[in-house]
Amino acid sequence: MKKWIPMRVVTFALFVIFLLGGAGIEGWAQTVLLVTPEEAAGPDARAVIVEKNDGPIIVIKSPENGSTQTGPFRLYVEIMKREGGGDIDMDSLAVKYLKLVPIDITGRVRDYITGSKMDVPDAEFPEGSHRAEILVRDTAGNESSKLFSVTVAK
């Protein structure tokens, strides 16, 4: 009978970890809700937003712009210094969810910024179509912005 006690303890511990969603276990990705259903339900932006390309180069590696995702997805962005420009000012990075009144979601991704990259392994948006803008400046004050859109179908 003593033989099964350690296995029960291990099974119970794994069950608790499963219930907590892997909280505190390095390497286990946790879903990051970047936009709440209430925010997504707000009226869409009506203005045409034009990208700026005077500052650092913003490359959205994932997801593909205009793609349809079926659940949480990787949001991966690289920022590169533009030739002849200043150094990248990552403190200026802003991520805005584009609604009639834009919603600043920068604080929700701040923990996923390392160096000149933003990597949110399991970004979650509610079901529907979404548009966001990423803005960043260099130390010379030149600004760039990049738009991206994604549709989430559950």
pLDDT of 67 reads 97
- Measured distance CA(106)–CA(25) in Å, rounded: 25
Whether the bond between 63 and the residue before it is cis, its omega within 30 degrees of 0, is yes
Q: How far is CA 34 from the centre of its chain?
A: 7
Angle subtended at Cα 61 by Cα 26 and Cα 24, rounded to the nearest 5 degrees:
10
pLDDT in tens, 44-99: 988 888 999 999 999 999 999 999 999 999 999 999 999 999 999 999 999 999 99
- Measured distance CA(19)–CA(15) in Å, rounded: 6
Q: Give residue 130's pLDDT band: very low, low, confident or very high (50, 70, 90).
A: very high
Please give the model's pTM, rounded to 2 decimal places.
Answer: 0.79
- The size of the chain, in residues, is 154
- Measured distance CA(77)–CA(62) in Å, rounded: 7
Q: Which domains does the chain have, with CATH numbers?
A: 1-26 (no CATH), 31-152 (2.60.40.10)
pLDDT of 9 reads 53
